[in-house]
A = this chain, B = another copy of it.
Amino acid sequence: MLGNDEDVVEIPRRPGRRRDESKDDVIMTATRQLIAERGYEGMTMDAVAERAGTGKATVYRRWPSKVELTVDAVVCGRGMILTIDDVPDTGSLRGDLMSLRGIQDSGRNDALMSGLHAAAQSDPQVGKLFHEQFVTARMALMYALLERAQERGELLPGIDLEMVATIAPAMIAYRKVVAGKKVSAEYTERVIEHLVLPLATGERPDVQA
């Protein structure tokens, strides 16, 4: 040992005004809002700075480019990637899916996805990120839920798991991104009741006839 000069790098505590860390959040929030409102192409760095109430220099001091800002803004939009461990086992596929109903795609992330989709087309880096966040992750979750149900013996034999796992993300994304309509909890419920459950377990919704 050479005394108290440890491996820990001496933080020289430089002089000068300290960076206001809270601005990071403000800027990222503004970024997410603007992507949601106008899409990636429509989001300008001027607009981000204005909405965040900062100068553009402040933005560029923290993120070197529009792409990197976008990537960070989306990745740090936490609570979006759910895994099987976030969904408590309710004992039935229906219960598991219903508990997801509201959480998946709550409110404002709706528009974010749509706007970000445009970004994915323009920039391959954003595209990769979009795919991980919005495509792979959701498919994987659905797939895991279906496997859990299969272990319970709930599923019909001969199911094409991949296809069935894709239905809900596809129906929701289609309604949102392609058709441009709102995705309500009711809609999601309808997808589960009328499509996923009948296919997976054979349960059919109540028919009064």
Q: Which residues does A use to contact B, with CB under 8 Å?
A: 39, 41-42, 114-115, 117-118, 120-122, 127, 131, 134-135, 156-160, 163-164, 166-167, 169-171, 173-175, 177-180, 190-191, 194-195, 198-199, 204-205, 207, 209
Contacts and interface: CB of A to CB of B under 8 A. Distances in A.
A156 B39 CA distance: 42
24 contacts: A39-B121, A41-B41, A41-B122, A115-B121, A118-B121, A120-B180, A135-B178, A156-B204, A157-B209, A158-B204, A160-B205, A163-B190, A163-B191, A163-B195, A164-B194, A166-B174, A167-B167, A167-B171, A170-B171, A170-B175, A170-B178, A173-B178, A195-B195, A195-B199
Contacts of A166: 171, 174
A122 B42 contact: yes
A158 B197 CA distance: 14
Contacts of A171: 163, 166-167, 170
Copies in the complex: 2
A39 B194 CA distance: 35
Contacts of A121: 39, 114-115, 118
Pick the most buried of A41, A170, A190, A195: most chain B CB atoms within 10 A of its CB: A170
